[in-house]
Amino acid sequence: MKKFKKPLLLIGFMGAGKSTVGQALAEKYKGKFIDLDRLISDSEGRSIPEIFEQDGEFGFRIHEYNYLQQALEDYDIIATGGGIIAFDKTFEYLKTVTARIIWLDAPFSKLYERIKNDSNRPNAQKGDESAVKNLYLSRLSRYNEIAFIKITTKDTLTQTLSEIENVLFANDQH
Ligand code: S3P
């Protein structure tokens, strides 16, 4: 059963810690958590790299759009994929949803350290570091446009959680 008044949607680039933070919040506040990539890959019975390979990135974005709607209905806390804002239809949809959108971010060098060897992330393996950095830079304005707050994950999980809690309690919305 869902518990929060409004779902919490975690957005941000690969390696920002959306799943880790989402899971920690869910444990602490007994909310229902889902990682959108996990929902897609479990429902489709294929890994994310397999979906990219077989359906193309565009195909993956369509799945992302469809499963996002399901996730918003069924879960309290949703960790999205870093490219959720890349597809115009999903980006426009995100502007209309009744959710609290939190942008998790860290300096690019830190994000890159966390993702550079991850073969499960096709867009982190598409080019060299500068190509991935360009992808990161190209997405910032969209994260910024739909999030109500940006929280850094450059420090410890405890620090990140307490910053998020300040925001949630300040707004009495959890
Ligand atoms: C992607 C990010 C991934 C996943 C897919 C595409 C991207 O999610 O959705 O590999 O384009 O940034 P994470 O942000 O959880 O790594």
pLDDT in tens, 41-74: 999 999 999 999 999 999 999 999 999 999 999 9
pLDDT value at position 171?
61
**Ligand 1, closest atom to CA 35?**
15
pLDDT band with cut points at 50, 70 and 90 for residue 172: low
pLDDT band with cut points at 50, 70 and 90 for residue 2: confident
pTM of the model: 0.95
The CA distance from 44 to 58, in Å, is 15
> Mutate which of 37, 39, 87, 104 to test ligand 1's pocket (most atoms within 8 Å of Cβ)?
37
The CA distance from 27 to 55, in Å, is 34
Ligand 1 pocket by C-beta < 6 Å: which residues?
14, 18, 37, 48, 81-83, 121-123
The CA distance from 85 to 61, in Å, is 9
Per DSSP, the three-state class of 88 is helix
Binding-site positions read 15-20, 37, 61, 82, 121, 139
